Structure 1
């Protein structure tokens, strides 16, 4: 039986395209795609009946029919960090980061489309996730990374069989190189930014919280934001669950103080973010100077009644060590949310509300911040 794949649609100009023949971005404006998909509200998820992976939420996912790509990703623990604050341990995913949630969706999509090769760009975690899931799916994978990417991460990519292309310059240079390759025939661009199937994978993060909390969500979801893939997935899930009577949370977005174009735009009341310089920061995973989905991220945070917070490197370093002393060793980027709302945060950013934050990447990938 052949199942139709939901098509792409551009939020900016309404352009639509078939997933099987579409370019990797909107041909009119060059922006990222959204997906022409919404779960059937009459078909509420019944996760307890599903497999022990994020595919347990298949009724809410845009890949119909039987899936074959999985490493039992998802279903990560929710543990208390402080009174009214829980952490979701997504660093316990198969490749040690939350990026597995979207990577498994794109690998399954690519398997169905049958490209000659898959290309991706990454500062580390997304690349390792794509390498692993392409290996699982039997797909040829090529990952473009900026110079200075952790050798532990590039080594993991190579171990999975991916070809690693080190690009001089920063994160944007690696993305530009991957997009040039993506324009060639027979190539599937596994972009965690431009391809909306990735966002429908990350939304399972919130579905799991909903399941673990007995059918409701916390008052606040604190989310690290660079390209915004976890936040936008969270917003998707919150909207979908709201149709079943679940009260949506406020979204509190956290950026590195050194590279914070979205926080600056939010503070200025702007609908879009102006690019900022690429400067070094411990939170390299969220140091994105010009996020392509900036407009959507800002709108989602505002619609939720949330806000943006920024954290300097010294608080990131302290938060990473504090989490390690609590038994949770994560990479510096993954400590950003705890730096923003934990005991060392100035003021009372949560105002006593219940909250969940993600610990997105394992410390074994990059070590303790120097």
Structure 2
């Protein structure tokens, strides 16, 4: 049986127990799962979704799939390409992980469970959609300041919505308080490692699209670090199986207004420094002042020869205008990486465009 495992305490728990965190330190779970090599030559004949990488996934043969993954890779400059990860069923990359959580919840023993999720918007939307697909009851907690478009989308999928006063951390605390109820599955994109095994398919797709290679730099936005940690897992697997020769740099991007990980990284720390209040930012999706997987994120960036970059609010606005002028309307969180790396000329890089501009309804001014 696949087991959850705490990387700090070493405590384990069967996946079908539905425990959402380590009972010892209350930290997030990792997963005892060993991926097998993905055969590049066989991929063209497989299903055109992230499920084509079956050897690398802890779940197979899904019934909840909506065709997520396999998003286009588009060159925008001589050295920098963008991956259009807003071209997914709910218009954000969070579909990659949400389908894994809904599929897991559907397979757990007992009566159909009530699913709870918390989010700044996109993850909640994705979980709501995939729970609807799986026929699961779903409640999503979001901050009361969440974009009206995202709130509308969550409700459209039939989920109950809990608007929580305060910031993103207050929302997470409210969801965790509800997660202990009988028959509840906490579909946490932060605490549950199945989500990371979904997001890692982003890097497997880059590897496939580039013919078994990867760019010199993989640039990702970081709040809770779900795309970065999934990407790091894929890089580790590909390298261990001898499927990549070089080691790309893993570059993390945060909004300057909320950049606790960048501060810790540049201070040489292994964990977050003293917490400072979060300031308002256009990049609401990565405005996370206290990410539970902070140590794992910092370690992954260092292991893959990367660094942290920060972008200002003006740079975010300019990046959104620039992409819109190139034909791509992307939400403000999703343009952070383009703001950081779109002008690079010294190395090849791929930047994810993580959410559609229609998610916020705010056009670039």
Q: What TM-score does the superposition give when structure 1 sets the normalisation length?
A: 0.94
Match of 2:11 among 3, 15, 23: 15
1:75 to 70, 76, 81: 70
Q: Where in structure 2 are the equivalents of 1:221-370 lying within 5 Å?
A: 221-245=218-242, 246=244, 247-274=246-273, 275-343=275-343, 350=344, 352-366=346-360, 367-369=362-364
The 2-side partners of 1:271 and 1:210 are apart by 30
Residue 16 of structure 2 aligns to a residue whose secondary structure is coil
Mapped to 1, the partners of 2:200 and 2:247 lie a distance apart of 13
Deviation for aligned residue 1:276: 2.8
Asked whether the 8 Å contact 1:115–1:187 carries over to 2, the reply is: no
The CA distance in 1 between the partners of 2:364 and 2:213, in whole Å, is: 35
Q: Unmatched 5+ residue regions in structure 1? A: 344-349
How far did 1:351 drift? 6.3
2:136 equivalent to 1:139: yes
Q: How many residues align?
A: 358
RMSD between aligned residues = 1.2
Query: In 2, distance between residues paired with 1:56 and 1:337?
Result: 27
Equivalent in the alignment of 1:125: 122
Mapped to 1, the partners of 2:247 and 2:151 lie a distance apart of 38
Q: Distance in 1 between matches of 2:66 and 2:140?
A: 20
Whether the aligned pair in 1 keeps the contact of 2:79 and 2:345 (CA below 8 Å) is no
1:97 is matched with which residue? 92
**Structure 2 CA distance for aligned equivalents of residues 276 and 110 of structure 1:** 36
Contact persistence 1:79–1:87 (CA under 8 A): yes
Runs of 4+ displaced beyond 6 Å = none
Please show how residues 69-218 of structure 1 align to structure 2 within 5 Å: 69-113=64-108, 115-218=112-215
Per-residue CA distance 1:322-360 (angstroms, 9 max, x = gap): 0000001000000000111123xxxxxx56111001000
Deviations along 1:226-258, whole A, 9 cap, x unmatched?
A: 000000000000111112320331101000000
Quote how far apart the aligned CAs of 1:278 are.
2.1
Aligned equivalents of 2:232 and 2:112: distance in 1? 30
Q: Does the 8 Å contact 2:105/2:113 carry over to 1?
A: no
Which sits farther off after the overlay, 239-248 or 30-39? 239-248
Q: Can you list the C-alpha shifts for 1:112-165, whole angstroms capped at 9, x where unaligned?
A: 015420000011100110010000000000000001101110111111000000
Contact 1:86 1:355 survives alignment (8 Å): yes
> 1:36 offset after TM fit, Å?
0.3
1:369 is displaced (CA, Å) by: 5.0
TM-score, normalised relative to structure 2: 0.96
Unaligned 5+ residue runs, structure 2?
A: none
Shift in Å at residue 22 of structure 1? 4.2
Separation (CA, whole Å) in 2 of partners of 1:161 and 1:34: 30
Q: 1:123 to 1:214 in 2, by over 3 A?
A: same
Give distance in 2, aligned partners of 1:166 and 1:279: 20
Deviation of 1:47 after TM superposition, in Å, equals: 2.4
Q: Please say if residues 324 and 364 of structure 2, whose CA atoms lie closer than 8 Å, have aligned partners that are also in contact.
A: no
> What does residue 32 of structure 2 align with?
36
